[in-house]
């Protein structure tokens, strides 16, 4: 069994990005500028946004944080998005999800200029990704493919089973894995909460991507010997062992599954750091090209 080290790979990619930013600056170009919009005070969102800002600083990007309280109106947010869309000094921006219930998340996502949609959540980017056109690909699926590539894992003709059908991970990663490309060219099955015989389907997987958001959902008896297991889960589970009082738990019961795998991603240190670095890659890409 080989551990897929997302922390190591993401550090390498960060270095590559930092080099490119240095070259841009030496060329007289301005560094990419990423803006994060954060609504409310959800602990997870606060942490994620803080790390995105730190990441920007580490690679030499400019970054800004726009904060709103939970009672912000949809119109106010749409106004800010419109301003950022028009501001040529802003390369890209993200609106951290989830948003409070009174705000229509989809309306917010669709208000973002697809050229600045570095989360890749806009239907134009999702659609272009699905049909294999240049696009800003959402960060977690892009990070998963990058890991498969950097570990030279064969995907052509393999059976890839995705557990989870979210717009952020399940759907786009399934689309990418079936793309005529490397990584890709796989036979893809998507399972979700209404699927029958999930265990049986998972046992057929050469590559198993768990993105269902249920801690330790994938047990050893659901994994074929020699499978590649990618764990996208990041549920905060209460813990007395950590200072913060919680620990990140994946969708895979790691201790019993790992010995059966050819490759497996740990949580933390697998897909998570890749998601962070792919946001930086998208921001760099948005600085260099127009999507539509
Ligand atoms: N919430 C959970 N993951 C993400 C992400 O990748 N981007 C944004 N904007 N919100 C999230």
Distance 272 CA to ligand 1 centre (A): 11
Q: What is the pLDDT of residues 74-90, one digit of tens each?
A: 999 999 999 999 999 99
Task: Output b/e per residue, 251-272; b: 16+ Cβ within 10 A.
Answer: bbbbeebbebbbbbbbbebbbb
Decide if 119 is catalytic: yes
Closest C-alpha among 159, 179, 275, 155 to residue 223 = 159
CA distance 197 to 89: 51
Contact 49, 16 (CB under 8 A): no
* DSSP 8-state secondary structure symbol assigned to residue 255: H
Closest C-alpha among 207, 213, 202, 212 to residue 178 = 207
- The pLDDT, as a whole number, for residue 94 is 98
Task: Output b/e per residue, 177-191; b: 16+ Cβ within 10 A.
Answer: bebeeebbbbebbbb
- The pLDDT, as a whole number, for residue 11 is 98
Lowest mean pLDDT among 40-44, 52-56, 227-231: 40-44
Pocket probe for ligand 1: among 38, 43, 48, the residue whose CB has the most ligand atoms within 8 Å is 48
Confidence band for 10, pLDDT divided at 50, 70 and 90: very high
Distance 37 CA to ligand 1 centre (A): 11
pLDDT average, residue stretch 116-130: 98
CA separation (Å) from 190 to 149, 174, 201, 205, 289? 21, 7, 9, 11, 32
Q: Does one domain contain both 165 and 260? A: yes
Is 197 domain-assigned?
Answer: yes
User: In the structure encoding, which two tokens stand for residue 126, read together?
Assistant: 């999702």
Decide if 52 is catalytic: yes
Ligand 1 proximity of 95 Cβ (cutoff 6 Å): yes
Distance 97 CA to ligand 1 centre (A): 5
Distance 285 CA to ligand 1 centre (A): 18
Confidence band for 210, pLDDT divided at 50, 70 and 90: very high
Q: What is the pLDDT of residues 154-203, one digit of tens each?
A: 999 999 999 999 999 999 999 999 999 999 999 999 999 999 999 999 99
Q: Does one domain contain both 235 and 157? A: yes
Instruction: From the candidates 14, 52, 171, 281, give the one annotated as an active-site residue.
Output: 52
Contact 148, 270 (CB under 8 A): no
Distance 229 CA to ligand 1 centre (A): 22
The number of domains in the chain is 2
**Which CATH number fits the domain that encloses residue 165?**
3.40.50.720
Is 4 domain-assigned?
Answer: no
Check whether 292 has a pLDDT greater than 80.
no
Q: Is the peptide bond before 268 cis (omega within 30 degrees of 0)?
A: yes
Check whether 252 has a pLDDT greater than 90.
yes
Ligand 1 proximity of 118 Cβ (cutoff 6 Å): no
Is 245 domain-assigned?
Answer: yes
Q: Does one domain contain both 71 and 190? A: no
Q: List phi, psi (to 5°) of 22.
A: -60, -45
Q: Does one domain contain both 149 and 44? A: no
Ligand 1 proximity of 282 Cβ (cutoff 6 Å): no
Pocket probe for ligand 1: among 43, 119, 213, 272, the residue whose CB has the most ligand atoms within 8 Å is 119
Q: Does one domain contain both 72 and 165? A: no
Helix (H) / strand (E) containing 231: strand 228-231
Q: Which of 113, 148, 175 is the last residue of a domain?
A: 113
Is 122 domain-assigned?
Answer: no
User: Domain range holding 100?
Assistant: 28-113
- The pLDDT, as a whole number, for residue 290 is 85
Q: Does one domain contain both 85 and 203? A: no
Residues 6 or more apart in contact with residue 269 via CB below 8 angstroms? 5, 6, 7
How far is the first Cα of the chain from the last one, in angstroms, to the nearest whole number? 43
Pocket probe for ligand 1: among 36, 45, 96, 283, the residue whose CB has the most ligand atoms within 8 Å is 96
Is 20 domain-assigned?
Answer: no
Is 2 domain-assigned?
Answer: no
Confidence band for 268, pLDDT divided at 50, 70 and 90: very high
Q: Does one domain contain both 180 and 264? A: yes
Helix (H) / strand (E) containing 225: none
Is 236 domain-assigned?
Answer: yes
Check whether 291 has a pLDDT greater than 90.
no
**Which CATH number fits the domain that encloses residue 93?**
3.40.50.10860
């Amino acid at each position: 069994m080989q551990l897929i080290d997302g922390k190591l790979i993401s550090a390498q990619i960060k270095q590559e990005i930092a080099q490119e930013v240095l070259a841009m600056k030496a060329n007289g170009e301005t560094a990419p500028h990423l803006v994060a919009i954060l609504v409310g005070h959800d602990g997870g969102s606060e942490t994620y946004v803080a790390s995105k800002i730190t990441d920007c600083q580490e690679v030499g990007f400019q970054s800004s944080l726009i904060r709103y309280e939970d009672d912000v109106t949809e119109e106010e947010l749409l106004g800010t998005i419109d301003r950022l869309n028009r501001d040529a000094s802003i390369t890209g921006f993200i609106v951290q999800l989830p948003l409070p219930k009174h705000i229509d998340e989809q309306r917010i996502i669709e208000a973002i200029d697809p050229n600045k949609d570095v989360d890749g959540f806009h239907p134009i980017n999702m659609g272009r990704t699905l049909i294999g056109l240049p696009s800003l690909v959402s960060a977690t699926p892009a990070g998963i493919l990058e890991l498969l590539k950097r570990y030279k894992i064969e995907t052509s003709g393999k059976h890839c089973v995705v557990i989870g059908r979210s717009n952020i991970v399940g759907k786009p990663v399934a689309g990418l894995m079936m793309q005529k490309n490397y990584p890709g060219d796989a036979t893809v099955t998507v399972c979700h909460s209404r699927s029958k015989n999930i265990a049986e389907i998972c046992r057929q997987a050469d590559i198993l991507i768990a993105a269902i958001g249920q801690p330790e959902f994938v047990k050893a008896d659901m994994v074929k010997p020699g499978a590649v297991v990618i764990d996208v889960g990041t549920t905060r589970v209460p813990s007395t062992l950590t200072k913060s009082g919680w620990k990140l738990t994946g969708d895979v019961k790691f201790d019993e599954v790992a010995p059966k795998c050819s490759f497996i991603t740990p949580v933390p240190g697998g897909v998570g750091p890749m998601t962070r670095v792919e946001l930086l890659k998208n921001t760099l890409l948005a600085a260099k090209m127009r999507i539509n």
